[in-house]
Amino acid sequence: MSQILQMPGVPETSKQLLVRLLQEDLIPVEALRAVVESYRRVIHEAQRRNGKANGPLGDKIANALQALLVRVNETTGDANLQIIQAAVRYFVIQNDGSGHDLESQDGLNDDARVVNAVMHYFGLDGLKITGLPEPAPTRKPPIRGGAALPARR
């Protein structure tokens, strides 16, 4: 189970919560599918209400998770089910330690990175979410004042 924590792309700020989620009792796959769809609706409602939640990214995450859940079968195994469930549970926890999912456009970025690591782990790179900004610690600060260089005199 801990191998998912070592996958490239899993944010350091996500690992502590993932450790706890990987220890939870298994939930039926159908229930996980329902939870993903329910949270998709929550994201869209928050987007309508406050304009901050990133509905398109929420859809991409939900779609990737649903595509993964459809692949679960009797050969999946409990260890892999635990990883899948942890990814779903991480997605639906609004305040997951990396910011609140529904209160900024960047709130779901860590969720997408966790899902991408899980997709890579299962060899489903085609389901990874693309176009994510660099993680905050390596992202260059925005240019203040709208000019890249000092104004010429």
Q: What is the mean pLDDT of each run of 10 residues along the chain (153 residues)?
A: 76 90 96 98 96 95 98 94 96 86 92 95 95 65 42 41
Q: Which two tokens stand for residue 57?
A: 């990214």
- pLDDT score for 32: 98
Token representation of residue 126: 């085609």
Tokens for 58, please give them: 């929420």
pLDDT of res. 96: 85
Closest CA to 92 of 4, 5, 7, 21: 21
Q: Could you say which DSSP state residue 144 is in? A: G
H-state helical runs in 93-137: 109-121
pLDDT at position 149: 41
Tell me the domain boundaries of the chain: 2-128
pLDDT of residue 2: 65
| The pLDDT value given to residue 6 | 82
Q: What is the pTM of this model?
A: 0.85
Residue 92 confidence (pLDDT): 97
Compute the CA torsion angle 15, 17, 22, 27 (nearest 10 deg): -140
